[in-house]
Amino acid sequence: MDTIDIVIKKRDGESVKLSVKVAVTTLQLQQGLMHVKKLDEFDGMLFDFGKSIFAEMWTKDTSISLDMLFFDSCHKLVCIHENTMPYDETRLGCDKPVAYVLAIASGQVKALGITIGDVSEYYSGMTQNESRKSDNSHIKARYMENPDTNTESGQNLWPLFWHCVMPQLDHVLYAKSVFNIVLSTKK
């Protein structure tokens, strides 16, 4: 199982870097943190579903308490379950589809100041070197190489762009047009 660094950009402008194992295969997703006895402060496991789903997690065979962070396909933190109970069959989910779940040591959400709306820098199918880049230049480079497809994994990046970036641009453009109208009426 690969280990990568993942950065969570908090809404207050600060960032948190975690070193996590990435579960992507069916077996890895099923086993999760089953036989782990302890997680260090900045360690965890990322469950990458490869697409947005209504995910449910549990700690049935897990001996440690966890904080679970649910991220949507735009890398925004949309749900948090803190201080899960070990060996619990209660299914923990989110009322929104998520692309991945990050499980970290219990109490770390509070200790690190992680909140709903924070954004992660993780892209499905990334290599470890790519995950360490903070400027997302690897994503921009892939758009330039072939604007329709991520040539490394075959993942189409346009839906990510249109789903995640365009709504933000629309708000910026709308705000800019409103601001210009206000300025033009004050002349």
Ranges of each domain in the chain: 3-132
What pLDDT is stored for residue 140 in this prediction?
38
pTM for this one? Answer: 0.70
Interior/surface letters 70-108, b for 16+ CB within 10 angstroms, e for the rest: bbbbbbbbbbbbbebeeeeeeebbbeeebbbbbbbbbeb
Angle at 53 between CA 120 and CA 137, to 5 degrees: 30
Residue 19 has what pLDDT? Answer: 93
Cα angle 106, 60, 105; round to 5: 15
pLDDT at 25: 92
Between CA 39 and CA 174 the distance in angstroms is 45
Inform me whether the pLDDT recorded for 185 exceeds 50.
Answer: no
Mean pLDDT, residues 111-135 taken together: 68
- For the chain, the residue count is 187
How confident is the model over 31-38, as a mean pLDDT?
Answer: 92
31: DSSP letter? H
Percent of the chain topping pLDDT 70: 65
Six token digits for residue 78: 């949309």
Name the band, by pLDDT with cuts 50, 70 and 90, for residue 124.
low
The b/e string for 144-179 (b: 16+ C-beta within 10 A; e otherwise) is eeeeeebeeeeeebeebeeeeeeeeeeeeeeeeeee
Predicted pLDDT at 103: 97
* pLDDT tens digit sequence for 146-178: 444 444 444 444 444 445 654 555 444 444 444
Rounded to an integer, what distance in angstroms lies between the CA atom of residue 136 and that of residue 142? 10
Cross-strand bridge partners of residue 47: 23, 101
What tens digit of pLDDT does each residue of 63-115 get? Answer: 999 999 999 999 999 999 999 999 999 999 999 999 999 999 999 999 999 99
What whole-number distance in Å separates Cα of residue 150 and Cα of residue 86?
39
Is 181 strand, coil or helix?
helix
Domain spanning 3-132: CATH 2.60.120.1140: yes
Across the chain, mean pLDDT equals 77
Per DSSP, what are the bridge partners of residue 89?
none
